[in-house]
Structure formats: C-alpha cells, structure tokens
Chain A
Amino acid sequence: MKIKLLGCALLLFGQALFSQDYFPENDGIKSTNNNYTAFTNAKIYVTPTQIIEKGTLLIQNGKVVQVGSSVSLPKNTVVTDLNGKWIYPSFIDVFSNFGMEKAKRNPAGGRSPQYEATREGFYWNDHIMPENDAITKFTYDDKKADEVRKAGFGVVNSHYQDGIARGTGVLVALNGKGTEAERILEDESGQYFSFSKSVQKRQSYPTSLMGATALMRQLYHDLDWYAKGNSSTKDRSLEALMENKDLPQIFASENAGNVLRADKIGDQFGIQYAILGGGDEYQYVDAIKNTNATLIVPLNFPKAFDVSDPYAARYVNLKDMRHWNLAPTNPKVLEKNDIPFSFTMHHLKSPSDFMGQLQKAFTHGLTKTKALAALTTVPASILGKSGSLGSLQVGRQANFLVVSGDVFDKNATIYENWVQGAKYVLADKDQKDIRGDYTLNAAGKTYTMAINGKTNKPKINIKKDTVDLTATITYNNNWVHLTLVEENGDRYRMSGLASQGTNEISGKLVDSKGIETTFKASRTASFEKKEKEKSEEDAPELVAMTFPNIGYGYASKPKAENTLFKNATVWTGTEILQNTDVLIKNGKISKMGSDLNAGSAKVVDATGKHLTAGVIDEHSHIGALAINEAGHNSTAEVKMTDVVDPQDIDLYRNLAGGVTTIQLLHGSANPIGGRSAILRLKWGENADGLLFPNMPKFIKFALGENVKQSNWQSFSRFPQTRMGVEQVFMDYFQRAKEYDTQKKSGATVRYDEEMEVLAEILNGERFISCHSYVQSEINMLMKVAEKFGFTVNTFTHILEGYKVADKMAAHGVGGSTFSDWWAYKYEVNDAIPYNAAIMASQGVTVAINSDDGEMSRRLNQEAGKTIKYGGMSEIEAWKTVTLNPAKLLHIDDRVGSIAIGKDADVVLWSDHPMSVYAKAEKTLIQGAEYFDLEKDKIQRKKITEERAKLIDLMLKEKEGGGKTQGPKQTKKARFTCDTL
C-alpha cells in the first residue's frame, strides 16, 4: 500500500516538472510539443460509473491533465469540439500474443519418447520456462495494431503462449507513432502459467493434466527450498520464478474445470492467480465464485451447428447444443454473481469479431457498465496498473476512444482511438450522415433509394417502382460512389459530393457506353432505426441447465428420501432373506424385518424383486479426464482427484447397472502410478462432490508388459524387463525411507510430493492397488513389501493369482480380477476364468472388477460368471462385486452390504441380481435416488424434446444468416489401463 501511495505522489509530482530528455538530435532542432489538447462538449466515461455529460477532457504529453464539466483551458490549448460525441477510456486486453511469433511445433523425431530435459542450468523439466522474457521475442506489429485499435483497444498485454511456466509478459500501448521506449509500458508485466506443455519441447513429462498439476505443485515446493538457499547449484528457472513472484500471476486455464484446478494450486501456495477461463464458467458458477479469482474471459461463443441434414445432426450431443445456446449468457452469469472478470480477444479469429460477440453478450443480459469495466478498469487492476491505465482520471495515460454515441451500440462508429495522446483515425468524425430515403434522378429515370447501416459504412437499396436493383455504395470523405445495374443490364457509375448543409447528393454519372451525364439524389426522409430491428433483439430463447449439464442430467440434484422397500428378496451380503422389508432413513439402513411401519417414508413395493447393496468397482477409469501420467516410471505425485470429470455419461450408465462406488485408478503406464480417487456416482455433483467422504488413501502400482512398454515402440525408459521393475521399487522405497527418516529427525528436506506419498505407504497410511498378471511378479512385489515392512493391499487384474493364492493369503493381500478376460497379450496366456474361485478357496478376499466402462455396468453378471467358472456359492459370488471390493477399499464399515447403520447405497433389481435377465430398477446412494427406470424414461423424452427445440433454434440461426459449424460430436476418450 505504501509503495502505491508513493507511486501516486511521484506521478503527480512528475507532471509539474518538464521532462528532460538525454538523446542527441541530428536531424533538425529540438522541438518538444508541450501544448495541451482539449476535447469539449463530449459525454465522457471517466470510469464505467463516473460519467460526465458535456464534459471536457484535457490532455498533454500523452496524459490526462484534467477532466470535468468545467475545465479551465490553458492558453496553449488546441480545442476540438466533440458535441454529441462520446469519449471512453480505450480497451485493454490482458491475454494477447501481440507481437509474438506463434510457437512452432517441434516435429516429433525418433522412435522413443524423450524422458530427459534438454537444458542445463535450468529446471529439470523443459516445459517450465519462467526465465523466458517475452520482451526478447517481441516485435511491434503495425498491421495487427491497426486491427486491434479498430476494435477499440489501446493497450494489450502480450506473452509467449507456450509451455507450463511461460515467463514474463510485455505490456504494450498500441502507439505506432511512438517509439518502443514510449509504448512498452512494462517489460515484465506479469508471470504466466498454463496446463499445456510447450509445443517446442519434446520432454515426455507431463503427459497428462494431472501431471501438469503435480508439476506446478512440485515447482513451488522446489522454489521454496531453493529460495532458502538449500541448493548447491544454480537453477535459472527457479531464480526467475523467485524474481517474478511479486508480479501479477496469470494462469491460462482455458475451461471452467481448469479454472478450479489452477486456483487450487494457488490456494496451496498462497498465490491468487488471475485466470483465463473458457467461457463455460456459467456451468459451475458457485465453485468459480469461491475461487475469488479475477477471470479473463474469452468471447468466442460457439457457432450454431449446421443441423440441416438430420443424418448428420444426430452426431451432435445435446451438451454441445446447449452450450451453443447458453455460452452467450456466461458474462451475464458472472456479473450476476459478482465475479470480477475482464474480456479478452483470445481465441477470436480476428479483432473485428469482437464487437459482434459482445453484442451477443448484451442481448443475453450483460450490462454495458459491466462490459466497460471488463475492458478497462478490471484489466488495469489485474495488471496492477489502475494508476496509469483503464480510466480517464487525472494522471492516467491519454488512451481513449471518440465514438459517435454509445460505443456498445450496434451502429456506433468509433471515430478515433487515441493512444498515449497520439491520434489514430478510424473513421472521419466530421463526415456527414447521409442515411435516409431519397429520390434518385439518374439517366433520365427516377428511382427510390434508401441509405442505411452505419454512418461511415452505409448500405444501399435502390428500387425502380417496386423492383429491387443491384446497387453498391462506398462513402469516404463525404464523397459518395454508387453503382447501379438496370434491369436490362445497363450499368451506371455515379460519384458525387454530399455537401454540408444540403439534403442532396449530386454529381457525375457514367453509363455502360461511357457517356457522362449527371445525377441527383434528394432526401425525402431522414434515417430512423426501424422498429423491426428491435423486435429481433427480443430476449433470446434459452434452455435450462441440468446437474450435470448434459443429457440425462437432473433438473435438481437428487436428495436423500426416507424409503421403505416392502417385501423384497434382500441380499444382505451374508445371507438372502425372503419377503423382507428394508427401511431407509436419513441416508442409512435403518430397519430390516417384516411388516415394517413406513411412517412418512416413501413405500416401494419390491415384491418379486431383489434388493442388494450397490455394486462397487475396484478398478475403474470412468469419470476421468486423464488416466496415465506416462512421463516418468514413477508418478506418485499425481492425483486422480485432480482430473475427475463429473460430466461423463458413463457415470450415469454405471448407475443404470447398479454401480454406486468406484475406485478411479491411475493407469498402468509405470511401475509406480498415481494416487486413486474413490468416487460415489452421485450424478449431478461436481468433481469434489463425487469423492467418497474420508476417502481411504490408495495408489496404483503396475507390473509386467505395460510398465516395460512391451507393446509399443519405446525402448529408452527404464525398466524394460521384470528384473528392472523390481529395482524401480527397491530404489524408490529405499529413497522414501531415507527421506522419511531424515524428515522425522527434524532435518531440512526438500518437500518432495512423490517421496511423501511413498513414505505414506511405508507408514501404512496409504494402500497399494497393483496391476499384475504373472505369478513371478506378484510374488516379487510381496517380497519387496515384506522387505520394507508393509503389506500390499490389493493385486488388481491378478490373472495368475490362482498360481500363488496360498502365498497371497499368507501375505494378506486381496485379489481383484476379471471374470473371464484373457488372450489379449502374452502375459495373459495362462489367465483363466476360474481364477476368482481358486483364490477365494485359499482365503484370499476376491473382487471382480471391470477396467472397462462397458463391463462395469454389468458387473453383476460378471459376478455371476464365478458360479459358472469354479462353482462359487451365490453369496460368495455376490460378495465379489459388493462386500469384498468394499473390504479391499477399506470402506466396508460404510458400504458393501445391507446392514443396520450402514449407508443406504442399495439397488433394486427386477430379477436375481446376478442373472443376465436382471435390470437395475432403482439405484440409491445414501438414500438418494440417482437412477430410476421410470425417471430414465422421462429423461429420454426430455432429451428428444430439447434436442428438437435446439435444432429448431439452430436452423433459425442459420436461416437468419448466422454462421454455422459442421455437425460434430465432442467425445471424451474412453480409458482402460493401457490408454496413454
């Protein structure tokens, strides 16, 4: 605060002095213009809320000297009367690449991924480049500056948009008439980050969003350690990061989910980023508000899909149609929720698109005051430049627009864009308004002519009687040029001056034969905005959002209801009870018995139906934005909780298959994978709302062909053999042990997320779920664990578990396997469907899992296969997808069986729950109905109706001349363990 005050004082004081320059002059005499320029009688927006009618703006040497309704003008003032015109501070774009070359993609070379960094003396990851100074790559681009000024911008903040840590930016006034010394306002305007790797660098890590997130966290941990002088070597990346830590910190997140991710990183390290959003923030507005971040919002509203071909239209998801419909409400929603935001032209094809997009935001409810703030005061504040930019208060830079009227009006003309006191004319402000209706006399004939559109860019319509003729108009410096094509094909060219003070345009006419005569147009009526145009601007038709905001989302989030299931066949987990009632109260199993009193509870007649605990999938990859961080052979630092996708339709489809809980596992690209998320399929909650409360800590490990990279062309990463796999574990656990010992002794350690996580395993606080196939490697990991004094919690896949079931039982590890998969790679040659039954027979806790978004919705049937293969009893078979996975996940005190006091995660089946003929009719989580067959039918109907409505709206948009995009289907990747 002190510094700020001091700065203000200096600024004011500085004005009183004349500036003294020290550059020699050899092309003439020293001539400094210290005259004042005044703009009088204008409506002046000093700030979005401080407006002066009939005011005067006085500037000198590129700065505002005075502004007000009565300003006394010094004698040496050049005065411009702006009667009827409006003055605004010019706009600022915080997120620009002005003057920067676009980073060129490094064509991938070589067969293997590159794991090591290419630089020395810098951070260990090539995508971390805080040492990059945008100014060294900056070249002022006159042509682009022209385009940007035309859109009303005076200052842009540019940075080199490449990499995860991108270095500093450069703040530039678009003043081509000035020198670099004048227009570069700041050469370290801020520090920039993103989740996207450098396209120029080939280093493999991070290959995923969760890896990028983890890398950012570790970077800050390392910075802390480095800043305290703990490093014996020099790291120029960390040096730069340290040096720039007090600059504005700007994160390019590009979508709403990533806004939350970026902010979470900031929260952990006490940094508040200003965050570039994606225009979809309206979907998670509550969470976005909680970030307290100032957003930088693009205005690239999606174009309507071209849905005229019904065969093609079906590919477009309702989700995307809805986003087309609702995206223009994003600014309004942010405004309504008091979320500070600025606008950027980022992602717009051309600056000339900007005003059109803004118009859309207005018709969708954004106020003009807020829009002006988002273009002036907010960006100035993001950049810490409120003292010099973003308003026309005294002392600010003289960056302003002279406009025909309201700058946000569709037909407004920006006449001039002044930058640092230099004038840039966009349109002649003194040009006469010739719009109106005319009688045109030309070539001896009489026509009616209408001129409309913008003052400086009018449109024309010429009729002979009632027939429309082809005509064009150009209008510059009061000269009108017309062309007219007669019905018989004759062409007339006309040029005339629209002189001030008359209602006539007259001049020369040249016909098709080259004969010259004259023409005259006399105005019969002046231009009026047609009423019809207004009706077109009627409030747009908007569809409603749902939870989650895709097809099959609910109008409101499901809530727990007290429910009595009457007369069901109840599979408690340990027994099968006929004709039994189950009462669910406050999300828990409250009572079980016969003839229970419903009280106020909803009664469901379950006669002939089966009630079971919800299915639990120990090994799932649905509901995720990424699965593998394959950039390192150990990635314990990454977390699946960072990449949960609550909008994955497979979550809903799993509910329809009776699944209530899943373990979202990292993939199997590396021996030490990432940390798991245990999710409850609470369809409609956001990512955090899906997490199982007090989630036990898990991590994915993997063995065999995947971690050896046997089945793809990669030969450079250790390990390439099962022998090497063991050594990866030995090495990491040994290091983690030493790290932990050192930390516990109170010595200074560099906080290492990976080591922290591995130490949790050694301390019994985190459990391993290990992807495994052949008996040798299974045995190996148990021995490694025993050496380090912990127990492996679960072997997942574990297809040769049956060969070492006795050893597994002795070690105390569980097995979570496929029912019948095999033959897809060499290591599953001996995989047999009897595996589950054999392991169970030796006392191993056995689960059947999916690793597949399709199979997971039929895990009940997969459990049924253990009866066929190996003859498991029905109760034991059913446990493999309920109680046993609950045990393996350490949540069996809450879910996995139907018992008094447990959470009411239950499924009502139409038939024997393991029969291929059974359908899940209702799926409840903590007493709330997340799937119901009848509700599903209603949802289908709603989807059909809403699609029809949106398709109709899009067709209208196309017919109205709106731009469209081809029909496309956005699709997330479907993951299995092997997905890279």
Chain B
Amino acid sequence: MMKIKILLTAILCSTFFYGQQTPANPQTQALTIEGATAHLGNGEVIENSLIMFADGKITHVGSANSRIARKGTVINAEGKHVYPGFIAPGKSLGLVEVNAVRASNDQDEIGNFLPHIRSLIAYNAESKVVESMRPNGVLLGQIAPKGGRISGTSSIVQFDAWNWEDAAVKVDDGIHMNWPSTFRNGRWWLGEPRGFQPNKNYQENIDEVAVFVQNAKAYGTGDSKEMNLAFAAMQGLFNGKQKLYIYAHGEKEIIDAVTLAKNQGIKDVVIMGGYQAHKIASFLKKHDVPVLVRFTHTLPFLEDEDYDFTYKLPKLLMDAGLKVGLQNATASNFQTRNLPFYAGQVVAQGLDKEKALQLITGNTADILGIADQYGTLAVGKSATLFISEGDALDMRTNILTHVFIDGRGISLETHQTKLWKRYMDKYEAGKP
C-alpha cells in the first residue's frame, strides 16, 4: 500500500496544478516499454513483452526475449500490464458537466429527427468529467447527442486535447437513432400503473422513421435546389461513409430496425443495447450487424430473469459468433470510467479475460470504424495505450502508472487527485 502511495504522490508532484490538465505535447522521443504482460486487445496476450513507439505510432510489438535494439527511453514494466486505451461508445462526455445543472447540459436538442445536430462542436475538451476517465484507462470516446428519434451525429474523440478540433479522431462518424419500443413504461404521473404496457403507436412510430429515411434517400438521389439540412445529413448512411447506430433492445424491435435500414440501403448498422440480441443472433450475423451491448452493471429488465443476465449477456452474444463491444450509453457520464469493470464482470460468467478486453478495445474500434488506428496494440497503429500495476479489468488492481495517447505521455492527475492530495497534505501538516 505504501508503495502505491509514494508512486502516486510522485506522479502528482510531477505536474503543475491547472484547472484542467494541460494536454501533452506531441511525442518527440521514441519510447520502449519492456517486461510487461501485453494485452493486445485482439484476444492475444504476450508475457514479458516489448513494445516500442515513436512519433505517436507503435513501431514494435513482440517479446522482450528478442534481442533487438530498444529505442528511446525504456520503461521497465516488469510485473505490470500494458493495454490499448479503452474506448467508450455512445457517450455524452463533454456535452454535460453536472447532470442536475441545466446550464451545463448540452446533450439533448429539441426536435425528433435531428441527424444534422453535431456533437463535436459542443464537445468540451476541458471537462473535468472527461479528465477523470484517464486514470482508469478510458482514453477514447464516441460522443453522441441524446434524445428524440434521431438524436444527431456523433464524432469520436481522444481524451487529451486543447479543443474539439484537436480532440477529433473521426469526425461525424455516425448517426444515432432511438428505435421505437413495442412496450412502454406506464406514465405513473398520469395515474397509469408503473411497469411496461404495450405501445399502441409502435407501428405508427416506425412509419415515421420509414418516411423520414425514404425522403432522405430520395433527396440524395435527386437534385433539389433547396437545401434540406436534415436530409443532407443522412447521406453518409447511404454511401457507407457513416454508420447508423440504432438503440434497440427487443427481438422484434431489432428485427424491424435492421430490416428497415437494410431495405433502405443503409450500409452499416450497429445495434446499441441489444438486450435480446442473443435470441436472434443468426439474423444479425446474416445481416452482418454488430452489437454494442448494454453494460453489465445494470439490473435485469424483468423480474423473472436470471439475476446475472446482464452480467453474462455480452458472453452470450460473443458465444453466438457476433461482433460485440460494450457501451454504457444510458449511464451517467462519470460512470464511464468503470468501463473496464463492466468488461471484467463478464469474466466471472466464464468469458476469457482477453476476450472480455476485446469488448472495450479491439472489437469496439472495429465496430466504430477506427480499427486502423486504435483498439489494439499493433505496429503502425496509434500509440494509445497505458501501463497498469495489475489487471486493469479488476478494480483492486486497475492502478495506472503511464498513459499515452498518440504517443504523448499524458497526465494522470485530475481535479479529484488534486483534492485528495490537498487534504492529505493538510492532515499530514496538522500532525504533531
């Protein structure tokens, strides 16, 4: 325990105290991490590994037994673990600072069909909540607007930036759509009983979506003289430049959603949530639809379901041969630092640890379309990775010592670590 304390104190003292952490400068010197257990994020693991990176890119991934020259500063990471940076999809990090303070909330625009609403330009790169992700290894996020039927267009950012342009990893990567539900919650404030009851307007709700998508498509094929911002914003879906992220849980809803999207010629569809996706795995496979599954630290929807259903759902989907990542889109943003532990939870259900890791690294990068740069430790990819004292999927041992985004060694300090130190100092000073 003492060791950890000293170590952390050392890290804290090495940085100046700004309101937010100052983004790190570009990597100028090569770096080598030697001796760690490297978890590559693609299911593979290298004990006693050797990882080197320069100019923000990984130049070597292999065994430390190999007798090649170590480049730049060598970090001895014996007994430690190296991971690719974790990726959080479907979040409004940087769009909301304090949930209950309306003035700090920029995640939900009014209106129902808003593909033209773009998250990126409102993303606050200096958010204290975003900064708190980093000491747990969560280094990238897909920032998405919330609410309505089509919430808007997301972008993918990295979590060490001066401003949103700096932060952007992939601009306007996808459009987010909340699929209607066959059942809805009772409006208890109007005297209805709580609980689920059939949504009588389900078909009507779908028809609205269909009409909108059809019109957007028609708009793209014609040469309308008058600009329609909403329809124009949908075009990336038809030419494969953007993905459609559909939030749906029920079997019926997922089938309806994928069928509609495919019928309209939308190329890339991702199911967000997928509470019952395991029941229609072959359908999803047939249509090549991956799932970013609802996170594990949630309660089952229904009383009679297995107590551990949400814990094992990602495993059920993986076992069924689907491409699966993990998201906590419905959770408060601050919770997203627990992303590794959501993945760890599945391990107790019998999933291999390295596969669990894929849920928040390689698979997610694949699904989000950033696998050429992020998600796994591989030569040529961005050096976005970190070193942990121990197993980063377990809360007891997720203790980070070094974090790199695009090769830049970033600060592990946050608003929270500063307060910790400040008050520990106060008490230490007060001692006789």
Report whether A968 and B252 are in contact in the complex, using a CB–CB cutoff of 8 Å. Answer: no
From known contacts A311-B182, A820-B337, A968-B193, infer whether A656 and B399 are also in contact, taking CB-CB under 8 Å: no
Residues of A298-346 contacting chain B, CB below 8 A: 311-312, 314-315, 317-319
- Nearest CB of chain A from residue B88's CB, rounded to whole Å: 15
> Quick check: is A967 within 8 A (CB to CB) of the other chain?
yes
Across the interface, which residues of B come within 8 angstroms of A650, CB to CB?
A: 299
Report whether A936 and B395 are in contact in the complex, using a CB–CB cutoff of 8 Å. Answer: no
Encode contact with A along B414-426: 1 for CB under 8 Å, 0 otherwise: 0011011001100
> Quick check: is A823 within 8 A (CB to CB) of the other chain?
yes
Report whether B332 and A823 are in contact in the complex, using a CB–CB cutoff of 8 Å. Answer: yes
Residues of A822-874 contacting chain B, CB below 8 A: 822-826, 828-830, 832-834, 838, 841-842, 853-855, 857-858, 861, 864-865, 867-868, 870-873
> Quick check: is B110 within 8 A (CB to CB) of the other chain?
no
From known contacts A838-B424, A864-B395, A968-B193, infer whether A825 and B101 are also in contact, taking CB-CB under 8 Å: yes
Across the interface, which residues of A come within 8 angstroms of B338, CB to CB?
A: 820
- Nearest CB of chain A from residue B98's CB, rounded to whole Å: 6
> Quick check: is A803 within 8 A (CB to CB) of the other chain?
yes
Count chain A CB atoms within 10 A of each CB in B183, B195, B334, B393 and give the residue with the most. Answer: B195
Encode contact with B along A957-979: 1 for CB under 8 Å, 0 otherwise: 00000000011111111100000
Report whether B420 and A834 are in contact in the complex, using a CB–CB cutoff of 8 Å. Answer: yes
Contact of A832 among B8, B99, B394, B420 (CB under 8 A): B420
> Quick check: is A947 within 8 A (CB to CB) of the other chain?
yes
Report whether A854 and B198 are in contact in the complex, using a CB–CB cutoff of 8 Å. Answer: no
Contact of A825 among B99, B128, B395, B427 (CB under 8 A): B99
Report whether B307 and A830 are in contact in the complex, using a CB–CB cutoff of 8 Å. Answer: no
Residues of B74-128 contacting chain A, CB below 8 A: 97-101, 128
Report whether B396 and A969 are in contact in the complex, using a CB–CB cutoff of 8 Å. Answer: no
> Quick check: is B1 within 8 A (CB to CB) of the other chain?
yes
Contact of A868 among B2, B99, B308, B399 (CB under 8 A): B399
Across the interface, which residues of B come within 8 angstroms of A966, CB to CB?
A: 197-198
Report whether B303 and A318 are in contact in the complex, using a CB–CB cutoff of 8 Å. Answer: yes
Report whether B196 and A315 are in contact in the complex, using a CB–CB cutoff of 8 Å. Answer: yes
- Nearest CB of chain A from residue B207's CB, rounded to whole Å: 19
Across the interface, which residues of B come within 8 angstroms of A871, CB to CB?
A: 1-2, 4-5, 8
> Quick check: is B430 within 8 A (CB to CB) of the other chain?
yes
> Quick check: is A711 within 8 A (CB to CB) of the other chain?
yes
- Nearest CB of chain B from residue A977's CB, rounded to whole Å: 13
> Quick check: is B372 within 8 A (CB to CB) of the other chain?
no
Across the interface, which residues of B come within 8 angstroms of A552, CB to CB?
A: 304, 307
From known contacts A806-B430, A830-B419, A911-B348, infer whether A825 and B100 are also in contact, taking CB-CB under 8 Å: yes
Across the interface, which residues of A come within 8 angstroms of B287, CB to CB?
A: none
**Who on chain A is nearest to B253 by CB?**
A311
Chain B interface bracket (under 10, 10 to 19, 20 to 34, 35 or more):
35 or more
Report whether A805 and B427 are in contact in the complex, using a CB–CB cutoff of 8 Å. Answer: yes
Report whether B334 and A317 are in contact in the complex, using a CB–CB cutoff of 8 Å. Answer: no
- Nearest CB of chain A from residue B430's CB, rounded to whole Å: 7
Report whether A826 and B100 are in contact in the complex, using a CB–CB cutoff of 8 Å. Answer: yes
> Quick check: is B147 within 8 A (CB to CB) of the other chain?
no
- Nearest CB of chain B from residue A738's CB, rounded to whole Å: 38
**Who on chain B is nearest to A968 by CB?**
B197
From known contacts A317-B304, A653-B307, A854-B299, infer whether A917 and B394 are also in contact, taking CB-CB under 8 Å: yes
Report whether A861 and B395 are in contact in the complex, using a CB–CB cutoff of 8 Å. Answer: yes
> Quick check: is A802 within 8 A (CB to CB) of the other chain?
yes
- Nearest CB of chain B from residue A799's CB, rounded to whole Å: 11
Encode contact with A along B391-406: 1 for CB under 8 Å, 0 otherwise: 0011111110000000
- Nearest CB of chain B from residue A481's CB, rounded to whole Å: 41
> Quick check: is B297 within 8 A (CB to CB) of the other chain?
yes
Distance in angstroms between the alpha carbons of A711 and B99 in the assembled complex: 10
Across the interface, which residues of B come within 8 angstroms of A855, CB to CB?
A: 297
Report whether A823 and B298 are in contact in the complex, using a CB–CB cutoff of 8 Å. Answer: no
> Quick check: is B341 within 8 A (CB to CB) of the other chain?
yes
**Interface residues on chain A, number (Cβ under 8 Å):** 74
Distance in angstroms between the alpha carbons of A940 and B302 in the assembled complex: 13
> Quick check: is B235 within 8 A (CB to CB) of the other chain?
no
From known contacts A868-B398, A873-B1, A970-B195, infer whether A824 and B348 are also in contact, taking CB-CB under 8 Å: no
Across the interface, which residues of A come within 8 angstroms of B251, CB to CB?
A: 311
Contact of B423 among A318, A838, A936 (CB under 8 A): A838
Encode contact with B along A521-563: 1 for CB under 8 Å, 0 otherwise: 0000000000000000000000000000011100000000000
Across the interface, which residues of B come within 8 angstroms of A914, CB to CB?
A: 395-396
Across the interface, which residues of A come within 8 angstroms of B302, CB to CB?
A: 314-315, 317, 969
Encode contact with A along B178-203: 1 for CB under 8 Å, 0 otherwise: 00001100101000011111100000
Report whether B196 and A969 are in contact in the complex, using a CB–CB cutoff of 8 Å. Answer: yes
Contact of A916 among B303, B308, B344, B420 (CB under 8 A): B344
Across the interface, which residues of A come within 8 angstroms of B419, CB to CB?
A: 802, 830, 832, 834
Across the interface, which residues of B come within 8 angstroms of A824, CB to CB?
A: 98-100, 332, 334
Encode contact with A along B338-362: 1 for CB under 8 Å, 0 otherwise: 1001001101100000000000000
Distance in angstroms between the alpha carbons of A655 and B416 in the assembled complex: 33
> Quick check: is B153 within 8 A (CB to CB) of the other chain?
no
Report whether A868 and B396 are in contact in the complex, using a CB–CB cutoff of 8 Å. Answer: yes
- Nearest CB of chain B from residue A793's CB, rounded to whole Å: 23
Across the interface, which residues of B come within 8 angstroms of A497, CB to CB?
A: none
> Quick check: is B306 within 8 A (CB to CB) of the other chain?
yes
> Quick check: is B129 within 8 A (CB to CB) of the other chain?
yes
**Who on chain A is nearest to B414 by CB?**
A832
Count chain A CB atoms within 10 A of each CB in B98, B128, B345 and give the residue with the most. Answer: B98
> Quick check: is A821 within 8 A (CB to CB) of the other chain?
yes
Across the interface, which residues of A come within 8 angstroms of B196, CB to CB?
A: 315, 968-969, 971
Across the interface, which residues of A come within 8 angstroms of B397, CB to CB?
A: 868
Report whether A864 and B299 are in contact in the complex, using a CB–CB cutoff of 8 Å. Answer: no
Report whether B98 and A823 are in contact in the complex, using a CB–CB cutoff of 8 Å. Answer: yes
Encode contact with A along B241-269: 1 for CB under 8 Å, 0 otherwise: 00000000011100000000000000000
> Quick check: is A652 within 8 A (CB to CB) of the other chain?
yes
Contact of B303 among A312, A551, A711, A911 (CB under 8 A): A551
Distance in angstroms between the alpha carbons of A550 and B1 in the assembled complex: 46
> Quick check: is B142 within 8 A (CB to CB) of the other chain?
no
Across the interface, which residues of A come within 8 angstroms of B430, CB to CB?
A: 806
> Quick check: is B333 within 8 A (CB to CB) of the other chain?
yes
Report whether B396 and A312 are in contact in the complex, using a CB–CB cutoff of 8 Å. Answer: no
From known contacts A864-B396, A971-B196, infer whether A918 and B299 are also in contact, taking CB-CB under 8 Å: no
Report whether B99 and A823 are in contact in the complex, using a CB–CB cutoff of 8 Å. Answer: yes
Across the interface, which residues of B come within 8 angstroms of A551, CB to CB?
A: 303-304
Count chain A CB atoms within 10 A of each CB in B100, B298, B345, B424 and give the residue with the most. Answer: B100
Across the interface, which residues of A come within 8 angstroms of B299, CB to CB?
A: 650, 653, 853-854, 974
Distance in angstroms between the alpha carbons of A820 and B197 in the assembled complex: 35
Distance in angstroms between the alpha carbons of A829 and B5 in the assembled complex: 24
> Quick check: is A51 within 8 A (CB to CB) of the other chain?
no
Across the interface, which residues of A come within 8 angstroms of B420, CB to CB?
A: 802, 832, 834, 838, 870
From known contacts A311-B252, A806-B430, A873-B1, infer whether A823 and B195 are also in contact, taking CB-CB under 8 Å: no
Report whether B333 and A861 are in contact in the complex, using a CB–CB cutoff of 8 Å. Answer: no
Report whether B98 and A915 are in contact in the complex, using a CB–CB cutoff of 8 Å. Answer: no
Report whether B399 and A916 are in contact in the complex, using a CB–CB cutoff of 8 Å. Answer: no
Report whether B427 and A841 are in contact in the complex, using a CB–CB cutoff of 8 Å. Answer: yes
> Quick check: is A637 within 8 A (CB to CB) of the other chain?
no
Residues of B30-47 contacting chain A, CB below 8 A: none
- Nearest CB of chain B from residue A971's CB, rounded to whole Å: 3
Distance in angstroms between the alpha carbons of A652 and B300 in the assembled complex: 13
Which residues of B come within 8 Å of A, CB atoms?
A: 1-2, 4-5, 8, 97-101, 128-129, 182-183, 186, 188, 193-198, 250-252, 297-299, 302-304, 306-308, 332-334, 337-338, 341, 344-345, 347-348, 393-399, 416-417, 419-420, 423-424, 427, 430
**Additional pairs, 18, CB under 8 Å, beyond known A857-B307, A873-B1:** A311-B182, A552-B304, A803-B423, A806-B427, A823-B98, A823-B128, A823-B334, A824-B99, A838-B420, A853-B299, A854-B298, A868-B396, A868-B397, A871-B2, A871-B8, A916-B341, A917-B348, A968-B193
Interchain residue pairs with CB less than 8 A apart (9): A318-B304, A805-B423, A823-B334, A830-B419, A832-B416, A832-B419, A834-B416, A871-B2, A919-B348
